[in-house]
Structure 1
Amino acid sequence: MILIRTEKTNDQAAQPQRASTRRVPGAVRWPIRVLTIGSDTNPGQESGTDLLRQGIELHPYSEGVAALLGLSQEEPAAIIAPTDMRGVDILHFIDAVSAWANVPVIVGVSGDTQSYEVAFHALEHGARALLALPFTAQGLADTLHQLGAYGPRLGDPALTLTVGPIILEPQSFRVKVDGKFVSLTPREFQLLKNLMNESPRVVTAEELTAGHGIYDDGSVAGTRVALGRLRKKLHTASPEAAATLETVRGLGYRVAETS
């Protein structure tokens, strides 16, 4: 079930505008980042890979106050706040988000009468949509599309990353090397995207691991193994492409054009 709020109530219209005090997020990331907040209800049953295929990257917080503190650093496209969220009342949470950030709040509804009652009060306070819990990757993607939270459309040149012979298209999850498509796993794709985004900066294995921590087996050792597989696939496609993925001994990894 998805319910999108499109109009303000009379009470909201009468409230003073606080736009001058809001923190507006920066450019939309891809995969888009969505914050989730802990509750007694299982928010979703999808794996990180299923969500990533929809272009969604979840960043979980155990309770609401921590999510509020993380807003400026995370710059999310949306926040999923369950009606029984931990740490702070959901209505106070929505008021705080409205004051400090231009980020839509999606209310997670567990299905019981009390949850729906709280959810509709949340809409009156400025929440933008209701989403049935546990949600699916497709259900969340549909909600984000209707909210316009996906940002630039598929194929936008600004979202294409190019380093040497490697072209990565974040929204379509495609990688081309010398004009030929290379098949990568979601984890390998995410690692390559992170390195290309940071090019030519050296990125530590720990930082790369944190950047794709949506995987259950996320570990530094797993990151190094995935990078080894990625390098082999790039080498099969083009030795020049493999050379752009460099191991900097004692520091980390980088993707940069070869001289």
Structure 2
Amino acid sequence: MRLLLVEDERALGAALGDALREAGWVVDHAEDGRDGLRRGLAGQYDVVVLDIMLPGMNGYDVLKHLRAQEVWTPVLMLTAKDGEYDQTDAFDLGADDYVTKPFSTPVLLARLQALARRAAPERPVAMTAGGLVLDPTTRRVTREGREIQLTAREFALLHHLMRKNGQVQSKAEILENVWDSDYPGADNVVEVYIGYLRRKIDTPFESRIIETVRGMGYRLNPVPESRGS
């Protein structure tokens, strides 16, 4: 799942971003209100975490502009306990949740997961492809009834491929959706993680579900190929 974090305190933003990535989120980080608004209008996010006191444009103005442009992405507001705005102001302007600093990171992560689930009722609780089942709520993956243990990044990669089931995804598209938009490394990290996934969801079984489309990228094949074909 993809999240926009708009937070100007660098230490807090870095720590929170690391915790979110460890939990499997793809995080874009903006450090001022205008950049946060630009990203919020241009990107497709599951949740926005929005600080109130920001340079350039405060969080409430960012929120007002997002809602005025009919961007209904769930927004969780962050503010200091002694801030001039209160919880009522946040909800009146269209926020979906509100957390006061300092906060418990595990509690914040749980509330973000709840917001993402409520925001996408049209998505099935579990996604399936060729005997492979991924439940984004419980983060449980099975194939033919056998549970498969994945790391947070492997889960994020598989989740993206299953959301695009049957569609070819280039390395650039995978990097943008599974790694951060400003990921500084080489795109061969995608090949490495595709290899990790294959060893877990293909190798133990009689058919291949992850397909390489030469010169284009990767996709999940809804009708897995037999190893003998």
In which range does the TM-score fall when normalised by the shorter chain? 0.7 to 0.9
Counterpart AA for 1:107: M
Give the drift of 1:190: 1.4
Which of 152, 163, 170 aligns to 2:129? It is 163
For residues 132 and 73 of structure 1, the distance between their equivalents in structure 2, rounded to whole angstroms, comes to: 27
Superposed counterparts of 1:57-136, under 5 Å? 57-100=26-69, 101-111=71-81, 113=82, 116-119=83-86, 122-123=89-90, 126=93, 127-133=95-101, 135-136=103-104
For residues 37 and 97 of structure 1, the distance between their equivalents in structure 2, rounded to whole angstroms, comes to: 13
For residues 69 and 134 of structure 1, the distance between their equivalents in structure 2, rounded to whole angstroms, comes to: 27
Give the drift of 1:65: 2.3
For residues 68 and 153 of structure 1, the distance between their equivalents in structure 2, rounded to whole angstroms, comes to: 22
1:47 aligned partner: 19
Aligned pair count reads 218
Task: Tell me, yes or no, if structure 1 residue 225 matches structure 2 residue 197.
Answer: no
- CA shift digits 1:62-92 (9 cap, x unpaired): 3222332333443444432223313213342
Which 5+ residue runs of structure 1 have no aligned equivalent? 1-30
For residues 82 and 152 of structure 1, the distance between their equivalents in structure 2, rounded to whole angstroms, comes to: 20
Distance change in 2, residues 1:200/1:105 (3 Å): closer
Counterpart AA for 1:158: P
For residues 149 and 184 of structure 2, the distance between their equivalents in structure 1, rounded to whole angstroms, comes to: 21
SS, match of residue 224 in structure 2? coil
Counterpart AA for 2:179: G
Moved over 6 A (4+): 215-218
Distance change in 2, residues 1:180/1:57 (3 Å): same
For residues 136 and 75 of structure 2, the distance between their equivalents in structure 1, rounded to whole angstroms, comes to: 25
For residues 254 and 192 of structure 1, the distance between their equivalents in structure 2, rounded to whole angstroms, comes to: 10
For residues 21 and 33 of structure 2, the distance between their equivalents in structure 1, rounded to whole angstroms, comes to: 25
Larger Rg: 1
1:18 aligned partner: none
SS, match of residue 133 in structure 2? strand
For residues 4 and 185 of structure 2, the distance between their equivalents in structure 1, rounded to whole angstroms, comes to: 19
- CA shift digits 1:7-29 (9 cap, x unpaired): xxxxxxxxxxxxxxxxxxxxxxx
Query: TM-score, with normalisation over the residues of structure 2?
Result: 0.77
Give the drift of 1:236: 3.5
- CA shift digits 1:80-123 (9 cap, x unpaired): 22233132133422322332233454332245x4xx12456853
Distance change in 2, residues 1:38/1:141 (3 Å): closer
Query: TM-score, with normalisation over the residues of structure 1?
Result: 0.69
For residues 39 and 103 of structure 1, the distance between their equivalents in structure 2, rounded to whole angstroms, comes to: 21
1:183 aligned partner: 149
SS, match of residue 47 in structure 1? helix
Task: Tell me, yes or no, if structure 1 residue 35 matches structure 2 residue 14.
Answer: no
For residues 139 and 248 of structure 1, the distance between their equivalents in structure 2, rounded to whole angstroms, comes to: 41
Which 5+ residue runs of structure 2 have no aligned equivalent? none
Contact 1:36 1:81 in 2 (8 A): yes
